[in-house]
Amino acid sequence: MTFNDNVKLDPSQVEDVRGRRVGGRGVAAGSGLGLVVVLVVLLLGGNLGGAGTAGDLGSLLDQTVGLGAGTDVGPESTLLASECQTGADANAREDCRIVGYVNSVQAYWIGEFAAAGERYEPARTRFFSGAMSSGCGSATTEVGPFYCPNDGYVYIDLGFFDELRTRFGAQAGPFAQAYVIAHEYGHHVQDLLGILDAGTSQAGAEGRSVRTELQADCLAGVWAGNAVGTGYLLPLTDAQIADGLDAAAAVGDDRIQQQIQGRVSPESWTHGSSAQRQRWFTTGYETGTSDRCDTFSGGI
Ligand SMILES: [Zn+2]
């Protein structure tokens, strides 16, 4: 997915708290904790299960591993503000690219809410490294990206995209990143509409959690179908769409369960199967309207 070189980015929509300088040395915030989490996840192996938190991308990634308070948030970096100014920067740097996706996704929803006579309240994204505390518990690389309705932030460790490649076997190209960002902002839209208030903890293939997640996938597709109209992006290629669908499939419950526990148990699904996630993203993308994202009634 390629940005218009000349479009102006708004880096204020992203807080960069990756690492911070302590005593004159660069220290990655929470890197020690991150290592602990990796070990815990490895040790727990196939025993990961239970209810997930709202807003995570994949069911394995839902698990908030038992950490106490996370690492304190460092001062907001001004690096993004100086480095990520235009679409050309987004084409050149990964972090600026994410800033551009956040800008485009929110530009779309601002317009959609306004057209409906509503006000879209922007949500900021926090880039972190290792681990940090959030209003929804500890954010870690392994938990994966998520939207926290309690504090209204999207949390993402950019290292997650390496996880997508190594642990989930996805290509995780640039459009996969766009899908992830758009999915999390789909949860923010749900939050603004009061959809998250009803709770997402009901697991199972037809449960409320899966329906909520599939709707976020659909809303991500709706944005993708309208991304060019936001002015930030050039038209998508088929290869880019395939990249997004590949990422959606990689975080399907059935794919992850098969990989982790060697069998598929739909009764504990929280996000839907690979096929469902692809289908709902495609529905949003091809129709380009959130009216078609009703995942709460009927079959999914
Ligand atoms: Zn989600």
C-alpha dist (Å) from residue 255 to 56, 89, 105, 229: 16, 35, 27, 34
| Mean pLDDT across 221-225 | 97
Q: Taking Cα atoms as reference points, which of 105, 101, 147 lies closest to residue 126?
A: 147
For residue 57, what pLDDT band results from cuts at 50, 70 and 90? low
The total of other beta-carbon atoms located within 10 Å of residue 46's CB is: 11
| 6 within domain boundaries | no
Which of 75-89, 218-232, 257-271 bottoms out in mean pLDDT, i.e. has the lowest?
75-89
φ and ψ of 110, to 5 deg: -60, -45
In the predicted structure, residue 87 carries a pLDDT above the cut 80: yes
Task: State the distance from the centre of ligand 1 to the C-alpha of 182, rounded, in angstroms.
Answer: 10
In a domain, 4, yes or no: no
> Band of the pLDDT at 2, cuts 50, 70, 90?
very high
Which range among 45-49, 68-72, 235-239 has the greatest average pLDDT?
Answer: 235-239
Residue 283 phi/psi, 5-degree rounding, is -55, -45
Q: Is residue 1 part of a domain?
A: no
Q: What is the mean pLDDT of residues 83-93?
A: 97
Q: Write the burial class of residue 235 (CB in 10 Å: 0-12 exposed, 13-18 middle, 19+ buried).
A: exposed
- Is the Cα torsion angle 132, 133, 139, 140 positive or negative in sign? positive
Ligand 1 centroid – CA 270 distance (Å): 9
pLDDT of residue 67: 33
Tell me the CA–centroid distance for residue 62 and ligand 1, in Å. 9
pLDDT at position 72, please? 45
Q: Which amino acid belongs to residue 156?
A: I
188 C-alpha to ligand 1 centroid (Å): 10
Burial of 21 (0-12, 13-18, 19+ CB in 10 A): exposed
CA of residue 58 to ligand 1 center, whole Å = 7
Confidence of residue 29 (pLDDT cuts 50, 70, 90): very low
Expressed as residue numbers, the domain containing 76 is 11-292
Tell me if 2 is assigned to some domain.
no
Q: Grade residue 78 by pLDDT with cuts at 50, 70 and 90.
A: low
CA distance 4 to 164: 27
Q: Which pLDDT belongs to residue 76?
A: 53
26 CA → ligand 1 middle, Å: 33
Evaluate whether residue 187 is within a structural domain: yes
Distance 23 CA to ligand 1 centre (A): 38
Asked whether the predicted pLDDT for residue 258 surpasses 70, the reply is yes
Number of domains in the chain: 1
How many CB atoms within 10 Å of residue 298? 6
Q: What is the pLDDT of residues 171-211, one digit of tens each?
A: 888 899 999 999 999 999 999 999 987 766 788 998 999 99
- Dist. CA 24 → ligand 1 center (Å): 38
Residue range 100-155, pLDDT digits in tens: 999 999 999 999 999 999 999 999 999 999 899 999 999 988 888 999 999 999 99
| Domain contains 299 | no
Distance 207 CA to ligand 1 centre (A): 14
User: pLDDT category, 56, cuts 50, 70, 90?
Assistant: low
Kindly state whether residue 268 falls inside one of the protein's structural domains: yes
CA of 6 to the centre of ligand 1 (A): 32
Ligand 1 mean position to 218 CA, how many Å? 11
Q: From ligand 1's centre to the CA of 48, what distance in Å?
A: 18
Which residues have CB atoms below 5 A from the ion given as ligand 1?
Answer: 213, 216
| Structural domain includes residue 273 | yes
Q: Which of 93-97, 139-143, 276-280 has the least mean pLDDT? A: 139-143
* Global pTM exceeds 0.95: no
The CA distance from 200 to 53, in Å, is 8
Q: In the prediction, which pLDDT does 143 show?
A: 83
Q: Quote the ligand 1 centre to 64 CA distance (angstroms).
A: 14
210 CA to centre of ligand 1 in angstroms = 9
